[in-house]
Structure 1
Amino acid sequence: MSTPPQPRAAVAAIPAYVAGRPPVARDGRRVYKLSSNENPYPPLPGVVEAAERAARQMNRYPDMGNTALYAALAGRLGVDAGQLAAGTGSVAVLYHLLQAFCEPGDQVVHAWRSFEAYPIAITASGAEGVRVPLLADGRHDLDAMADAITERTRVVLVCTPNNPTGPSVTGTELRAFAERVPAHVLLVVDEAYREFVRADDPADPVALLAEHAHVAVMRTFAKAYGLAGFRVGYLVAHPEVAAAVRACSLPFGVSSVAQAAAAAALEAEPELLARVDALVAERDRVRGALLAQGWEVPDAQGNFVWLPLGADALGFTAAAEEAGISVRPFAGDGVRVSIGEPEANDLLLGVAERWKERSTP
């Protein structure tokens, strides 16, 4: 058999994305998925109805301009619709952005450990990732990230709250960092979990856009809005930046059903954010209990907590699975546990307590 055509050399270097595993059924017991930072609440009836209405027109292409969704977002955010670019999740938006702004050999600076998709998207674009270690408490080392910027840097990524460790960047920190990032470098603030932030001095990168044309913001409907299965994310940026991202976007990428569900979710925001409040309360309860057990848990500002288990990450994951919950291990670093139903969270606390008792001399 002849040799097939070979892909770009960068493709062989793309790391595989590891998704959160579903739980394994165990003896008829209910099991819980706490591995993917999903919203455990079912979709609201109004959102389901909007999606069903849109599905009746599945023989037609979706609105490529995302007109209704952009209008709803522009009104909610106080920006012009020309400052928006949507995609099939904020990950897709990131791919389009890197395609628009990075040449092969350009550099993208980001914290590590941070969102697992960053190295994948960067490598796929042909760019080079520059990983800057987190501080000991799981926070971004913004000073070190600023120092890592070179003449080859085209994009800097800031994930706040940071996935998987949990801490968020403050407004004061982000403003100072934006002033250190050169104007020709795009500063992308990934706010996938922004609705869960309850920290003092929260960052508002959309407000920074009025002063810094090189700031861009990525957000998603997957987490707080509970639309993970529909894949809707968006960018807010200077009109020229947003236009470049839209130019690289897949035509008709966001489906009619996803657009309708996202617009309906914005209309139902008060009820959805009440659910977010309940998840935040559960998050704080879980973290407080873990701290009381003797765990070192970074500040949690997303819908998850981080256990810095190091080499024990896979062992803890197996113990959690035996108890009926799936969690997300990062081998050699730690375990991220999503906040789910109270009974699922209680199972996690039981596993954590037994693990701590077993490992304490």
Structure 2
Amino acid sequence: MHSLHARPALGKAVAGLPPYVAGRRAQNALTAALASNESHYEPLPSVLESVRSTALLMNRYPDTASTELRQRLAEHLAVTADELAVGPGSVGVLQQIITSFCDPGDEVVFAWRSFEAYPILTALAGARPVPVPLLPDENHDLDAMAAAITGHTRVILLCTPNNPTGTPIASRALQAFLTRVPADVLVVIDEAYVEYATGPDPVDSLALYRRHPNVCVLRTFSKAYGLAGLRVGYAVAAPELADGLRRAALPFAVSALAQRAAVASLDAAHEMAERVHGVVAERERLLAALRAQGWQVPDSRANFLWLRTDAALHSELLHAFTTADTLVRSNAGDGIRVSLADAATNDRVLNILGDRTAFG
């Protein structure tokens, strides 16, 4: 006999899953929305025009294989289309990766703090998250990550520049790390912010991929290319692995608008590069100004800055930003991430933070 109070129950992997918390949205034109990592520029004119024309086909299903986009990416990256998998943002491709490689009980190793979706997607696949604390200078502790590898490890996630700290992994350190990883463990180099990654000893992830068959490169059009609202990202992996990622993808997940916009974005790469140059210039200006105010800010190579906080300082800073109608990303227990915007908005951040000695 059925109980009147019985109801379907969520699976264990979902029942205990924390929700992904997106950056808060601006409620009015006066609010500075610096909580999400997105471009604060309007869409590139040529890209916007391509989306407008493609919108006339929204009654048709998109190409589920993203054929044209994969071919254009192949030309852009000097790989083959068979080495590419496309998904709804890099986080969508990451879900395809973890789903494809992990069974219940397997382990996924990543730095912490890093991208918040890492432990969520891992747990959703029934695998076990293995977070490895960052070093005191906010960099990946590659020695500790190598030591965390066990016979159950299936995937290692390396976010460079890291979200939310902005710190990059040095090329020489990453090359040395890869020699310590077993050949049957997939190493995902997550480069959502690679276009902003200026500085010494840069990682050539595609060169590492060509030397190490167990390396997968993950990138997105959401950040520097300004397509966060259309959701398109991609992975470069060995052909047999990329084939598995494509088979694990939700059919028609990348819309025709997103595919067309991504192709048009590749054609407008020089325009995107000009915008990136502006962001990098503002980043260096704010780093210098904040340090002059007494803040210890790591050398970000992304489109945001990171302030490490204890509980008391965290509360003070959030109150100061909220009072000034400025949204920032709170990583409770660790720190605050502030995305970069135009010069006037960035000056607003400097005014809020003022002198370091004004805060506890």
TM-score above 0.5, yes or no: yes
CA distances 1:67-121 after superposition (whole Å, capped 9, x unpaired)? 1111110001000000000100111111111111000000000000000010110
1:23 paired residue number: 26
1:341 paired residue number: 342
Secondary structure class of the residue paired with 2:210: coil
Secondary structure class of the residue paired with 1:219: strand
Shift of 1:138: 0.7
Aligned length: 356
Structure 1: stretches of 5+ with no match in the other structure: none
Which portions of structure 1, spanning 4 or more consecutive aligned residues, are displaced by more than 4 angstroms? none
Aligned-partner residue type, residue 137 of structure 1 = D
Aligned-partner residue type, residue 280 of structure 2 = V
Query: Partners in 2 of 1:43 and 1:121 — Cα distance?
Result: 30
Shift of 1:24: 4.6
Query: Partners in 2 of 1:24 and 1:213 — Cα distance?
Result: 47
2:236 paired residue number: 236
With normalisation by structure 1, the TM-score equals 0.96
1:177-196 aligned within 5 A = 177-196=177-196
Query: Partners in 1 of 2:330 and 2:133 — Cα distance?
Result: 19
2:328 paired residue number: 327
**1:4 matches 2:7:** yes
Secondary structure class of the residue paired with 1:210: helix
1:180-329 aligned within 5 A = 180-311=180-311, 312-329=313-330
Is residue 154–residue 186 contact of structure 2 (8 Å, CA) maintained in 1?
Answer: yes
1:83-162 aligned within 5 A = 83-162=83-162
Is residue 316–residue 359 contact of structure 2 (8 Å, CA) maintained in 1?
Answer: no
Give RMSD over aligned pairs. Answer: 1.1
Shift of 1:54: 1.0
CA distances 1:195-222 after superposition (whole Å, capped 9, x unpaired)? 0011211111111122110000110000
Is residue 313–residue 330 contact of structure 1 (8 Å, CA) maintained in 2?
Answer: no
CA distances 1:153-200 after superposition (whole Å, capped 9, x unpaired)? 000000000000111012111111111111000000100000001121
Query: Partners in 1 of 2:31 and 2:104 — Cα distance?
Result: 45
Residues 1:24 and 1:315: Cα distance change in structure 2 (over 3 Å): farther
1:58 paired residue number: 58
Is residue 314–residue 331 contact of structure 1 (8 Å, CA) maintained in 2?
Answer: no
Shift of 1:315: 2.8
Residues 1:210 and 1:38: Cα distance change in structure 2 (over 3 Å): same
Query: Partners in 2 of 1:214 and 1:332 — Cα distance?
Result: 34
Secondary structure class of the residue paired with 1:7: coil
Aligned-partner residue type, residue 235 of structure 2 = L
Query: Partners in 2 of 1:4 and 1:32 — Cα distance?
Result: 44
Query: Partners in 1 of 2:60 and 2:234 — Cα distance?
Result: 23
CA distances 1:285-344 after superposition (whole Å, capped 9, x unpaired)? 111111111101111000000001221223312211221211001112110000011111
Query: Partners in 1 of 2:48 and 2:58 — Cα distance?
Result: 15
Query: Partners in 2 of 1:159 and 1:4 — Cα distance?
Result: 40
Query: Partners in 1 of 2:357 and 2:75 — Cα distance?
Result: 52
Secondary structure class of the residue paired with 1:281: helix
Is residue 111–residue 132 contact of structure 2 (8 Å, CA) maintained in 1?
Answer: yes
Deviates more, 1:168-177 or 1:153-162: 168-177
Aligned-partner residue type, residue 189 of structure 1 = I
Query: Partners in 1 of 2:310 and 2:202 — Cα distance?
Result: 30
2:352 paired residue number: 351
Secondary structure class of the residue paired with 1:180: coil
Is residue 23–residue 324 contact of structure 1 (8 Å, CA) maintained in 2?
Answer: no
Query: Partners in 1 of 2:103 and 2:249 — Cα distance?
Result: 17
Query: Partners in 2 of 1:109 and 1:48 — Cα distance?
Result: 39
With normalisation by structure 2, the TM-score equals 0.97
Query: Partners in 2 of 1:56 and 1:50 — Cα distance?
Result: 11
Secondary structure class of the residue paired with 1:189: strand
